Amino acid sequence: MITPYIISPATNACALACYQMTARSFFSDVDTGEIARITGWKPGHMVWAFPFWLWMMERGVRVHEYDTIAYVAWAERGIAGLEESLDAASLDYVIQRTENLKACEEPLRRCLEHPNFSFTRQEPDLATLRQGLSPNSVCEVAVCSKTLDKEPGFSLHKVVVLEAPENRIILHDPVWPGASPRPFRSEAVDDFLPAWQLGKELTVYERV
């Protein structure tokens, strides 16, 4: 399976670019604009994965999500359930960057009920990532781009991991428009892990 490199179409659209790369890995002729429509992406807002997961699962792709967020509580009790797994600062970060957080609840419930979806509530580790990587899979992870770039501050960022040899992580980094493209970005494991530990998410897509 070949994962193409796609630059983020706008600021705060790294997740959309990753979904486009993932979709193209499984379905080479898919229109990237269709992925933007499926996710309901709008410039300046976070792009949640739930509608994209549903689109992929309906096309025979299995999705396994590793995250510390209490998805079941969120689906059942809305923002009150989401508060169980996010501190006040993290919850505010999400609310300020999501156009309509309540609108996420229905597609999340459908994901949790889908036979091609599985969820493990845990902080993923390097062994889990390496286990998820295969010729028939795509792995997306959330990182802190500031930490990965050795800069101060926090910025949640999504990338596609391609390989994880002994001491390196090879990834497609969908940089902002105007920045130098970073396909096949190579980072030392010791530099990657602190950035990933701030993102705390891994999504593995594989053919059923």
Q: Which of 49, 205, 28, 62 is nearest to 134 (CA)?
A: 205
Element (H, E) at 164: none
Here the tokens at position 193 are 């892990």
Q: At what angle do helices 50-57 and 32-39 cross, to 10 degrees?
A: 120
Q: Does residue 10 have a pLDDT over 90?
A: no
> Hey, which bits of 47-147 come out as E strands?
61-67, 117-121, 137-144
Q: Which two tokens stand for residue 176?
A: 């902002």
Task: Please state which architecture CATH assigns to domain 14-207.
Answer: Alpha-Beta Complex (3.90)
pLDDT at residue 176 greater than cutoff 90: no
The pLDDT value recorded for residue 113 is 98
pLDDT in tens, 27-84: 999 998 999 999 988 888 888 999 999 999 999 999 999 999 999 999 999 999 999 8
* Contact in structure between 204 and 139 (CB atoms under 8 Å): yes
One-letter identity of residue 72: V
- CB contact at 8 A, 94 and 46: yes
Q: What is the pLDDT of residue 97?
A: 86
pLDDT at 1: 86
183 SS3 class: strand
pLDDT given for residue 42 in this prediction: 85
pLDDT tens for 131-160 read 999 999 999 999 999 999 999 998 889 999
Which pLDDT does position 208 carry in this prediction? 82
Which among 59, 44, 56 has a CA at the least distance from the CA of 13? 44
Given a contact cutoff of 8 angstroms between Cβ atoms, the answer to whether 205 and 26 are in contact is yes
Position 107 scores a pLDDT of 97
Q: What per-residue confidence (pLDDT) applies to 28?
A: 94
- The pLDDT value recorded for residue 89 is 87
pLDDT tens, position by position, 182-208: 999 999 999 999 999 988 899 999 998
Pairing of strands 61-67, 117-121: parallel
| Residue in the structure block whose two tokens are 């701030």 | 198
Determine the average pLDDT of the residues in 117-141: 96
